[in-house]
Amino acid sequence: MSECAAGGTWEARWQAGDTPWDLGAAAPAVAAALREGPLANGPRRVLVPGAGAGHDAIALARAGHAVVALDIAATAVARARETIAAAGASVDVVHGDLLVGDAKRAGPFDVVFEHTCFCALDPADRERYVDAVADVLVPGGALVAVLWEHGRDGGPPYDIAGDLISSWFARRFQEVGRIDLPPFERRPGVERLVTFTLAPEGGLPVA
């Protein structure tokens, strides 16, 4: 699927109110991410791709991070700006496509926090996603990702089998932490909070 086609699909769903992924509040995974790992240690510059209405971005900003929220759908961007303003939070909102480098003008970032954005992509775009995230991070930067294994065919969201996670990201990242999150009613299956460290040029981080 092309970027234009993907953007049109998500925009149509936001316009129709067909957004079951929008919880109306920050995902439970955000609290877990703020307790340990790169988001628990001091203020960071954080990119939230596929930010939707901005709830996760607001929670990260309230924890002291400098946050940029990115979404491909114009209606989602407008909603995020409204939600962020109503919350009195400080978040920059960018309308753009991560896969074509639209986040670079706002970077670089210490951390990319994503909430099932990888799951929402056509599997054919996964390698481009990995490169796009790596390209906006500072050396030694981190990706903190909520990945969902639901066991169903098709998508989006597409199934993210736990035993394959490291292999999808191995070209550019090393997995350094994984937490199985408590289940909740709207997300049957297993959600995992996975932390990756960006590999330096020429190889993976040295243990």
Q: How many domains does the chain have?
A: 1
DSSP string, 70-130: EES-HHHHHHHHHHHHHHT--EEEEES-GGGTTTGGG--EEEEEEESHHHHS-GGGHHHHH
Name the strands in the sheet holding 137-149, side by side, starting at the edge strand that comes first in the sequence.
Answer: 91-95, 66-71, 45-49, 109-115, 137-149, 190-198, 173-180
Residue 26, in any domain of the structure: yes
Residue 166, in any domain of the structure: yes
pLDDT of residue 185: 67
pLDDT of residue 27: 87
Residue 203, in any domain of the structure: no
Enter the DSSP assignment of 25.
Answer: S
What are 178's strand-pairing partners? 194
Residue 207, in any domain of the structure: no
Report the CATH number that the domain containing residue 141 is assigned in CATH: 3.40.50.150
pLDDT in tens, the chain (207 residues): 333 334 458 899 999 988 888 888 898 899 999 999 999 988 999 999 999 999 999 999 999 999 999 999 999 999 999 999 999 999 999 999 999 999 999 999 999 999 989 999 999 999 999 999 999 999 999 999 999 888 888 888 898 888 889 999 999 999 999 999 887 766 767 889 999 999 986 444 433
Instruction: Report how far residue 100's alpha carbon sits from residue 104's, in angstroms, rounded to the nearest whole number.
Output: 9
Tokens encoding 206: 């040295």
Inter-residue contact 172 to 130 (CB < 8 Å): yes
HSE-CB at 59 with a 13 A cutoff on CA atoms is 21
Residue 173, in any domain of the structure: yes
Q: Is 185 exposed, middle or buried (0-12, 13-18, 19+ CB in 10 A)?
A: exposed
Enter the DSSP assignment of 201.
Answer: T
Residue 204, in any domain of the structure: no
DSSP string, 152-200: -SS-SSPP--GGGHHHHHTTTEEEEEEEEPPPBTTB-SEEEEEEEEEPP
Strands 66-71 and 45-49: parallel
Question: What is the domain range of residue 76?
Answer: 3-198
Inter-residue contact 121 to 129 (CB < 8 Å): yes
Residue 185, in any domain of the structure: yes
Residue 101, in any domain of the structure: yes
pLDDT of residue 74: 96
pLDDT of residue 196: 97
What pTM was estimated for this model as a whole? 0.90
